[in-house]
Amino acid sequence: MLTVALVGNPNAGKSTLFNALSGLRQRIGNYPGVTVEMKKGQFTTDGVTLDLIDLPGTYSLAARSPDEMVAVDLLLGRRPEEPRPSVVLSIVDATNLDRHLYLTSQLLDLGVPVVVAVNMIDAAAAQGLKFDYAKLAAALGVPVVPIQANNGTGLAALTAAIRAAADQPAPHGLTFPTAFDEVAEQLRKELSDEVPPFLLRRALIDIGGYTEQWLVERHGDRFKVALVGAREKLAAAGHSVPGVEARTRFAWVRTAVAAAVTKPAVRPVTGSDRIDHILTHRVWGTLVFLVVMFLMFQSIFLWAKPLMDLIGSGQDAVAKGVQSQLPSGPLRALLVDGIIKGVGSVLVFLPQIMILFGFIAVLEDCGYMARAAFLMDRVMSRCGLSGKSFIPMLSSVACAVPGIMAARVIENRRDRLATILVAPLMSCSARLPVYILLIGAFIARPGSPGWLPGLVLFAMYMIGFTVAPLVALALKRTLLRGAPPVFVMELPSYRRPKIGSILRRMGGAGWSFTRRAGTIILAAMVIVWALLYFPHTDANGESYPDRIETAEDTAKEKAPRLKELNDKEDATDEEKVELEALEDAGALPDKLNGEWKRGSALGRTGLWMEPVFKPLGWDWKIGVAAMASFPAREVIVGTFGLLYDVGEVDTKAIGNAKADDDAKEKAAGLTRAVQDDWSKDPVRGKYGVPVALSIMVFFALCCQCAATLAVIKRETKSWAWPAFTFVYMTALAYVGAFLTFQVGRLVVG
């Protein structure tokens, strides 16, 4: 079996080649102690199985962090988890050979056979570049295969070249100036044990790099002194580091390219140039950026609506089916209220999440994200971060979990940490259900202007966009104090995004959301349901569900008479007394239900804690729903469903037939249930809007997501940071909700 390591610059087409070669046979490899993940795939040609490892995209093997060192160690066969690669596959961009071959030249020093795949030959041909691959192979000293990874051109020749190369001797590395080799040799003598020549060279060249830190740690300050002395000697000889490496390698690369590539006298203006002229323009580019952001949020709502309705009605059908099949009792209640309605009310948001992820995947794949980072750098630098933090933060609008993982592109540890800690403040897609429910119930009332719901939703997103930079600034001034980060980034050429890769990412997001709904949200819903269901007997030992059922039956029986009396204009006194009694009977199921919920385990806890929620304008029900949502914030929607009991028989609707039917019919079941419940309460009846806003602000700022905390733990290798995030966000959420309600109360009052 052959192990092949795939190495290349970011945007060289590495992932496309990896997917084209290994198809669906992929898995993720994790490495202890670092946050690097490498994709591993397998493919078979002519009966030989090749193991393919996709290394993170990099411009150079000069490692500056433990994460970057993993790739170097793996290539040198110094990782216990992986065998040393038999062949290194170096993928380069044909339109940018001069720069991409720099990394290839470093790979030649590893002592492993190298095969060069020249990718994107179509784009190069369109730019008028002509290649002589035989000459290029001769100049580089390794096999060269032209490919077009996105349509499979040249892949057969490439696999053949890889297999052939495995039996060949490793290439000779580049020749460095003699003075450099002499100094490196002297330095080697300073070390008591054997260090690969490759790493020794890296220690010499990369000032303050990871290899230097590692060797100084092992050999003490004596080595540090020797290292500094060696660098001084090189500078005196006119070969100062790191320039000596860059000059040596680029000179070599240019000779090779000059021998094998014919370029047009004048570099033609490409489509990418023309697009960039607008998209990075200080005025037009900024405008386009704002429009793109607006379209993204707008389309989430427009496109998702029909799909959401479809899922919603499917869920209703399942609930009805179960209800008709099972006798009433705890099991039916658990299945219908706890599982189908609880999990279903969350699953409804699947379309929105997939659309959002699709958008972000398109923006990333076409190369626009880098432009967004360019445009936003100035803004981000105000809060001590760089444009590179913008991508993780924008991705967190979809979900903080991939957002936090996207922070890996930030080299500086402090900046990366600051980005990770504020990313969960961005309004993620899981917050949408809460916003939409409450906006639907209290903002989008009949008679309010049509633009108001959109504006409130936008304001909720703006909370994240405003608070996250402020917290980042506070962190950078205190806990994570450090110099402003360096911002040097490549702006890749624009590419047409591949439908397959976009769909793959949307599918992945959809699947992980569904799995989340099936695991953590399901578990939370079952627990919440049980805590609200038990104890389910009253003081006399009678079961509440039974009593409610009896009361409902009575109410149903009497409903026609109630309606008759209600419609009667000239009722006698006797009839008025009867009407009152009938109305009481109609309200009995609700009254019993309230009594039961209040007496349940969760209800008692909520009532006990009510003083904590009161300053926020919340009653125990809202408080309980917010607390139950700490594992996953979507749980609030299902918990509201349980608390406000979206009953099957709506006695009030029958009784108050004359009430504003139109408005009520428009509101969905849960929205209406929340409205009804609040309207009966003196505080929430009057201050419905401030209370709704206070809940939304709380959810906007709170870290109610176990998955986010887990990923922060994984990315920071410490429990301290997730704990910190949880505490500061919860405190922020409480204060924010408090201010919202108190200010709102003054405004309304």
Partner 1 sequence: MTTLADLVPGQTAEVLSVTGDPALVQRLYEFGLLEGERIEVLALALLGDPIEISLGNSRLTLRRAEAAGITVRSEE
**Residues of this chain that bind partner 1 (CB under 8 A):** 59-60, 62, 64, 95-96, 98-99, 102, 205-209, 242-243, 245-247, 250, 267, 276-277, 280-283, 285-286, 370, 373-375, 377-378, 381, 387, 484, 486-492
Contact 285, 279 (CB under 8 A): yes
The minimum distance between CB 199 and partner 1, in angstroms, equals 16
The minimum distance between CB 272 and partner 1, in angstroms, equals 8
Choose between 62 and 428: whose C-beta lies nearer to partner 1.
62
Q: How far apart are CA 648 and CA 76, in angstroms?
A: 67
Q: How far apart are CA 348 and CA 655, in angstroms?
A: 31
Choose between 64 and 686: whose C-beta lies nearer to partner 1.
64
Q: How far apart are CA 674 and CA 643, in angstroms?
A: 9
The minimum distance between CB 179 and partner 1, in angstroms, equals 19
The minimum distance between CB 332 and partner 1, in angstroms, equals 60
CB atoms within 10 A of CB 436: 20
SS3 237: coil
- 717 Rama sector, left if φ>0, alpha if ψ -120 to 50, beta otherwise: left
What b/e readout covers 366-384, taking b as 16+ CB neighbours within 10 angstroms?
bbbbbbbbbbbbeebeebb
Choose between 492 and 638: whose C-beta lies nearer to partner 1.
492
Three-class secondary structure assignment of 108-146: HHHCCCEEEEEECHHHHHHCCCEECHHHHHHHHCCCEEE
Choose between 54 and 206: whose C-beta lies nearer to partner 1.
206
Choose between 165 and 376: whose C-beta lies nearer to partner 1.
376
Q: Which amino acid is at 496?
A: R
Taking alpha carbons only, the member of 640, 368, 354 closest to residue 497 is: 368
Choose between 140 and 643: whose C-beta lies nearer to partner 1.
140
Instruction: Classify residue 562 by burial, with Cβ atoms within 10 Å: 0-12, 13-18, 19+.
Output: buried
Choose between 393 and 711: whose C-beta lies nearer to partner 1.
393
What b/e readout covers 532-555, taking b as 16+ CB neighbours within 10 angstroms?
bbeebeeeeeeebbebbeebbebb
Contact 441, 671 (CB under 8 A): yes
Choose between 183 and 729: whose C-beta lies nearer to partner 1.
183
Element (H, E) at 26: strand 26-30
Residues 6 or more apart in contact with residue 474 via CB below 8 angstroms:
none
The minimum distance between CB 85 and partner 1, in angstroms, equals 22
The minimum distance between CB 95 and partner 1, in angstroms, equals 6
Question: What dihedral do alpha carbons 100, 102, 107, 109 form, nearest 10°?
Answer: 170
The minimum distance between CB 243 and partner 1, in angstroms, equals 7
Choose between 64 and 84: whose C-beta lies nearer to partner 1.
64
The minimum distance between CB 487 and partner 1, in angstroms, equals 5
CB atoms within 10 A of CB 512: 16
Q: How far apart are CA 318 and CA 336, in angstroms?
A: 9
Choose between 261 and 559: whose C-beta lies nearer to partner 1.
261
Choose between 294 and 511: whose C-beta lies nearer to partner 1.
294
The minimum distance between CB 101 and partner 1, in angstroms, equals 10
Phi, psi of 237 (to 5 degrees): -85, 5
Terminal C-alpha separation, the chain: 77
Q: What is the CB-side half-sphere exposure of residue 697 using CA atoms within 13 A?
A: 25
The minimum distance between CB 598 and partner 1, in angstroms, equals 56
The minimum distance between CB 245 and partner 1, in angstroms, equals 8
Choose between 184 and 398: whose C-beta lies nearer to partner 1.
184
The minimum distance between CB 467 and partner 1, in angstroms, equals 22
